[in-house]
């Protein structure tokens, strides 16, 4: 039987032992780990005869989520803290599954050579193309706050979202909630008068929520003050051609479907997959582009986990896109399918 499945997984957010121990990592080393490993065992490795590709669609690793007063984890520390996850990936390759890795914003600085050494045979790619006219990428490149920003940070390309993550991890708001950040933005946007003061007020509001931190410890132990960050990014909206009004829309990064439509229109794709938002989604939309499917892979570091499975048989034209929910035992509980 030929291999007909491509399995897309994103936003696992593997971290270091130090952050697992302090419970500051988004991926918890108990429930989330058991679920992820069981899923890889039972749905990927055991069924390897039907799996063609396993695509890690960004934010598999995370060196952003870390309290402001701690040095963020290095990728060597992160790789060392997740031997079982890496072992499953090596097994998949040994069973003949092609494993692809796409960078996300939380791991955009992970050196290709480091990962390819750790998982021999794994391929680092910028976007996945295949299964007819399918296109998959992490999705942060479409966003204002999380795409690499070499204009305001020529040396490292850190976007403002990096500092938002650092401050959010220092706040008392337990656990991870994307919506939490968006609500904070909403308040600031209501009060902001110009788009420049908006960025300053946003950083101010987040620093306040993070127990009034005044500085952030950067890799290598260097210190960066909140005032420096405000100055550094204050022109971000105008650089991107945003008025205060359009900024309100752009900030809602919870929905990437519009960008999926645009990719279909501009490049002729008919299936577009993103991760990044942590909000699983699948729809088949006729509004802008006829016969296009957009799906979001969701996340593995939250109460609910999900992935997307694209099925296409060689020499046949039909494609099935399945949004799959996974329970704490790594079993599939629910599947929503759209077909082309
Ligand atoms: Mn992301």
Q: Residue 108 Cα, ligand 1 centroid: separation in angstroms?
A: 10
DSSP bridge partners of 14:
61
- Percentage of the chain beyond pLDDT 70 is 88
pLDDT, residue 131, reads 81
Q: Residue 20 Cα, ligand 1 centroid: separation in angstroms?
A: 19
State CA 156 to chain mean position distance.
Answer: 19
Q: Residue 123 Cα, ligand 1 centroid: separation in angstroms?
A: 19
Number of other CB atoms surrounding residue 77 within 10 Å:
15
Distance between CA atoms of residues 149 and 260, nearest Å: 22
Confidence of residue 244 (pLDDT cuts 50, 70, 90): low
Q: Residue 97 Cα, ligand 1 centroid: separation in angstroms?
A: 25
- Which residues belong to CATH 3.60.21.10 in the chain? 5-143+255-339
Q: Residue 24 Cα, ligand 1 centroid: separation in angstroms?
A: 17
Q: Residue 57 Cα, ligand 1 centroid: separation in angstroms?
A: 9
Q: Is the dihedral of CA 328, 170, 147, 107 positive or negative?
A: negative
Half-sphere exposure of 280 (CA within 13 A, CB side): 24
Q: Residue 64 Cα, ligand 1 centroid: separation in angstroms?
A: 10
pLDDT reading at 206 higher than 90: no
Q: Residue 257 Cα, ligand 1 centroid: separation in angstroms?
A: 15
Q: Residue 1 Cα, ligand 1 centroid: separation in angstroms?
A: 35
Q: Which two tokens stand for residue 5?
A: 């499945």
pLDDT, residue 183, reads 62
Q: Where do runs of H (alpha helix) occur along 111-213?
A: 112-118, 160-170, 178-191, 195-209
Summarised one tens digit per residue, pLDDT across range 2-43 is 899 999 999 999 999 999 999 999 999 999 999 999 999 999
Q: Residue 284 Cα, ligand 1 centroid: separation in angstroms?
A: 23
Q: Residue 141 Cα, ligand 1 centroid: separation in angstroms?
A: 10
pLDDT reading at 259 higher than 60: yes
State CA 300 to chain mean position distance.
Answer: 10
Average pLDDT over residues 132-151: 92
**CATH superfamily membership of 5-143+255-339:** Metallo-dependent phosphatases (3.60.21.10)
pLDDT, residue 193, reads 63
Average pLDDT over residues 127-143: 92
Q: In which order are the strands placed within the sheet that holds 134-136?
A: 128-130, 134-136, 271-274, 292-296, 281-285
Confidence of residue 181 (pLDDT cuts 50, 70, 90): low
Q: Residue 260 Cα, ligand 1 centroid: separation in angstroms?
A: 16
Least confidently predicted of 31-35, 56-60, 310-314, 326-330: 310-314
Q: Residue 180 Cα, ligand 1 centroid: separation in angstroms?
A: 16
321, 304 in Cβ contact below 8 A? no
pLDDT, residue 60, reads 98
pLDDT, residue 48, reads 95
56, 10 in Cβ contact below 8 A? yes
Q: Residue 314 Cα, ligand 1 centroid: separation in angstroms?
A: 32
Q: Residue 15 Cα, ligand 1 centroid: separation in angstroms?
A: 14
Q: Which two tokens stand for residue 269?
A: 């794709």
134: left (phi over 0), alpha (psi -120 to 50) or beta: beta
């Amino acid at each position: 039987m030929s291999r007909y499945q491509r399995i897309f997984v994103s936003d696992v957010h593997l971290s270091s032992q130090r952050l697992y121990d302090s419970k500051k990592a988004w991926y918890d080393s108990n429930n989330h780990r058991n679920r992820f490993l069981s899923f890889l065992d039972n749905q990927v490795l055991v069924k390897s005869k039907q799996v063609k590709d396993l695509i890690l669609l960004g934010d598999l690793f995370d060196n952003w989520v870390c309290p402001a007063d701690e040095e963020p984890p290095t990728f060597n520390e992160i790789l060392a803290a997740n031997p079982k996850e890496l072992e499953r990936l090596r097994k998949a390759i040994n069973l003949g599954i092609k494993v692809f890795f796409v960078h996300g914003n939380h791991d955009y600085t992970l050196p290709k050579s480091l990962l390819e050494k750790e998982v021999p045979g794994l391929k680092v790619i910028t976007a996945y193309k295949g299964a007819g006219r399918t296109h998959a990428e992490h999705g942060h490149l479409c966003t204002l706050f999380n795409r690499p920003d070499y204009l305001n940070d020529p040396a490292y390309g850190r976007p403002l979202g990096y500092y938002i993550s650092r401050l959010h991890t220092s706040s008392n708001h337990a656990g991870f909630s994307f919506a939490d950040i968006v609500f904070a933005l909403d308040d600031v946007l209501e009060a902001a008068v110009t788009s420049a003061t908006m960025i300053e007020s946003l950083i101010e509001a987040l620093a306040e929520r993070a127990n009034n931190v005044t500085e952030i410890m950067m890799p290598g132990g260097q210190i960066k003050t909140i005032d420096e960050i405000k100055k550094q990014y204050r022109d971000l909206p105008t650089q991107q051609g945003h008025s205060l009004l359009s900024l309100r829309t752009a900030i809602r990064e919870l929905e990437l479907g519009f960008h999926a439509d645009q990719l279909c229109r501009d490049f002729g794709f008919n299936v577009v997959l993103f991760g990044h938002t942590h909000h699983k989604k699948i729809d088949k939309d006729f509004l802008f582009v006829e016969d296009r499917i957009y799906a979001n892979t969701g996340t593995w570091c939250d109460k609910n986990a999900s992935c997307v499975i694209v099925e296409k048989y060689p020499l046949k034209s039909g494609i099935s896109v399945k949004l799959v929910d996974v329970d704490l035992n790594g079993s599939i509980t629910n599947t929503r399918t759209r077909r082309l």
